[in-house]
Amino acid sequence: MKKLTYFPGCSAHGTSEEFDKTVKMVMSALDVEMEELPDWNCCGATSAHTMSETLANALPLRNLILAEKLDNNIMAIPCASCYQRLKVTKVHMDDNPELAHKINSTVVEEGIYEGKVAVKSMLQYCYEDIGTEAIKSKVTKSLTGMKLACYYGCLLTRPKAITQFDSPEYPVSMDQIVEALGAKATEFDYKTECCGASFSISNTEVVIRLSGQILEMAKESGAQAIVVACPLCQSNLDMRQPDIEKHTGKKYDLPVFYFTQLMALAFGMPKEEMMFGKHIVPVDGALANIGKIDPVPEKIKKTKKAVEAESEVE
C-alpha cells in the first residue's frame, strides 16, 4: 500500500468540496493511504506573492515543515495554486540557503526546514506514481462515448523549471488518464491558456473573456465536457459560464468535471457521491453519452497506389 501526505487547501472545504471528496474516494480504491496534513494553513495563493515576497514563502513553508513531521515522503496537493506555491517555496528553500534562512526566521514555532518531502500535484501523483495502467485496471464502467477536452491551466505544468512535469505547451497526462477510463480526449489547443484565475472577483470582465475563449475552443474541439485538475479553473469555467453565455450570446452547455470525479464514475462508484449537484452547468446531458458508440466512419476509398503497395507487402 502506498502512503502520502494530503494537503487539501482552502477550497477543498468550500468551492471544490467535490474534488476533495472524489480524491479521497479514488485514492482508497487505488490502495493509497492518505494522511491529511495536521493543522495546515492557507498557501497564501496569488495574493501573498502579489503583495509580499516574505509571506509568499513563509505561509507555504509552515506547511512544508509540518509535512516533515509525518513519515511520508510525498505530499500531494489537489489544488493547482496551492501546489505551485508550495513547490516554488520548496525550490527556493532547496536552492537558496540565504533566502531559506531568512524565511525560516519567520516560521518559529514549527522548527527548521530540512527538505525531506517531495511536493506533487494530485494529477502528477496519479500519472507518475500510480500510472495509467493501474488506473485502467480499476475501471468497471468504461466512459466510452464521452468526448472530453482536458484543460490544465497555467500552474500545473508552468514554469517548467519549477514543476518538472509534463509539457508546458501541450501536456498529455490528463488526456491519457481519461483515455484509460475509456473516454476520448479531444484535440484541444487551449489546454494551457489562462482562465483569468484570481481575477474572478476583482476583475471579472477579464475572466469572462479568457474563460470564454477556452469554452469556445473546447466546444470547437467536439468535446461534450471539460476536465480540470484545479478548483479555480473549475469555478471560472463552470460558475461563470452563464455570465459568459450572456456575454457572447452563445450556448456552450459544457459541464466542467474534476478528473477524479470521472475516475470515481469509471471505477463504478455510486453517482450520488460525486456531488454533481454542486455543478452550476448540469452534467446529465454529457453523462448521457456514456455507452453511446460513434457511427462508424465511411470507409476511405483506397487509392490505386495504396492497393498496389499493400499487395507488394503480401
Comparison of 129 and 245: residue with beta carbon closer to other proteins: 245
Q: In three state form, how does the secondary structure of the chain look?
A: CEEEEECCCHHHHCCCHHHHHHHHHHHHHCCEEEEECCCCCCCCHHHHHHHCHHHHHHHHHHHHHHHHCCCCCEEEECCHHHHHHHHHHHHHHHHCHHHHHHHHCCCCCCCCCCCCCEEEEHHHHHHHHHCHHHHHHCCCCCCCCCEEEECCCCCCCCCHHHHCCCCCCCCCHHHHHHHHCCCEECCCCCCCCCCCCCHHHHCHHHHHHHHHHHHHHHHHCCCCEEEECCHHHHHHHHCCHHHHHHHHCCCCCCCEEEHHHHHHHHCCCCHHHHCHHHCCCCCHHHHCCCCCCCCCCCCCCCCHHHHHHHHHHC
Comparison of 46 and 248: residue with beta carbon closer to other proteins: 46
Q: Would residue 264 be called left, alpha or beta, if left means φ above 0 and alpha means ψ between -120 and 50 degrees?
A: alpha
In the complex, which residues of this chain contact other proteins (CB under 8 A)?
Answer: 10-11, 13-15, 17, 39-42, 44-55, 58-59, 62, 102, 105-110, 154-155, 158-160, 168-169, 192-194, 196-199, 201-204, 206, 210, 235, 239, 242-243, 277-280
Q: What is the nearest approach in angstroms of other proteins to the Cβ of residue 242?
A: 8
Comparison of 29 and 42: residue with beta carbon closer to other proteins: 42
Q: What is the nearest approach in angstroms of other proteins to the Cβ of residue 133?
A: 30
Comparison of 146 and 261: residue with beta carbon closer to other proteins: 261
Comparison of 206 and 290: residue with beta carbon closer to other proteins: 206
Q: What is the nearest approach in angstroms of other proteins to the Cβ of residue 241?
A: 11
Comparison of 151 and 267: residue with beta carbon closer to other proteins: 151
Q: What is the nearest approach in angstroms of other proteins to the Cβ of residue 62?
A: 7
Q: What is the nearest approach in angstroms of other proteins to the Cβ of residue 299?
A: 42
Comparison of 193 and 220: residue with beta carbon closer to other proteins: 193
Q: What is the nearest approach in angstroms of other proteins to the Cβ of residue 109?
A: 5
Q: What is the nearest approach in angstroms of other proteins to the Cβ of residue 145?
A: 27
